[in-house]
Amino acid sequence: MRDVAAAGAPTGPRVLPRNDPRQYDDLAGEWWRPDGAFAMLHWLAEARAALVPPATRPDALLVDLGCGAGLLAPHLAGKGYRHVGVDLTRSALVQAAEHGVRVVQGDATAVPLPDGCADVVSAGELLEHVPAWPRAVAEACRLLRPGGVLVLDTLNDTAVARLVAVRIAERLPTVPRGIHDPQLFVDARALVAECARHGVDLSLRGIRPQVGGMIAWLLRRARARRTAGASPAGRAPRIVPTRSTAVLYQGRGIRKG
């Protein structure tokens, strides 16, 4: 056991090791709450979906690795994909199915789907949770048809990412305590190299929540909690590009023929 989620944190009474997947069961009621523990995943899903092109053929398939409760689904509406989600966590998959995702319980490092079946593979906030992330990258690339698109976002393996995403963000209500193991963060250069080995030229860009929107959201949320806990009204913070990939970054690439 490397580290534990802090006792008394909003993960409930159980104290689990960092990155223990059972945390997603304890947090199952949080997925679809816009001001809940997974709020930032909603913002990131919108930004990720913006990288997904409209489908170019009938029956096009998008495979969503580590789909969680299917937060990507509303942002894909109208793009023309069948949305298949793969995840380890059954309690999350039940909710994904309720939001129109066809679900497969499985490991992103050994996906029970055929080679070249996907027009798009998405791996949102997944790789930094997978000890053998190169295996998950190999699987993502294997699933893509030639010309298919890989989209992903993850946390970089840097000191600043460990500071911002763990030490600071876990004190804010946007990131559950203990959800990340910083030892699993994904070196951006190694990720690009791994994708290239599997026929995908990945382009990266740094991203972050827009600061003003984030502060307004935190204030609205705190006010709502003080006044009987209604969800905050108003737009969720936007995820915007940033020059540095040192903390959070998106990747997009096309599978070669």
Ligand X SMILES: C[S@@+](CC[C@H](N)C(=O)[O-])C[C@H]1O[C@@H](n2cnc3c(N)ncnc32)[C@H](O)[C@@H]1O
Residues that bind ligand X (CB under 6 A): 21, 24, 41, 44-45, 66-68, 71, 86-89, 92, 107-109, 124-126, 129-130
Cβ-proximal residue to ligand X, closest one: 68
CB of 108 to ligand X, least distance (A): 4
Nearest to ligand X of 66, 253 (CB atom): 66
CB of 101 to ligand X, least distance (A): 11
Nearest to ligand X of 129, 198 (CB atom): 129
Nearest to ligand X of 101, 200 (CB atom): 101
- Secondary structure, 3-state, the chain: CCCECCCCCCCCCCCCECCCCHHHHHCHHHCCCCCCCCHHHHHHHHHHHCCCCCCCCCCCEEEEECCCCCCCHHHHCCCCCEEEEEECCHHHHHHHHHCCCEEEECECCECCCCCCCEEEEEEECCHHHCCCHHHHHHHHHHHEEEEEEEEEEEECCCHHHHHHHHHHHHHCCCCCCCCCCHHHCCCHHHHHHHHHHCCEEEEEEEEEECHHHHHHHHHHHHHHHHCCCCCCCCCCCCEEEECCCCCEEEEEEEECC
CB of 16 to ligand X, least distance (A): 13
CB of 31 to ligand X, least distance (A): 7
Nearest to ligand X of 98, 256 (CB atom): 98
Nearest to ligand X of 66, 209 (CB atom): 66
Nearest to ligand X of 44, 191 (CB atom): 44
**235 CB-side CA count, 13 A:** 8
CB of 153 to ligand X, least distance (A): 8
CB of 140 to ligand X, least distance (A): 11
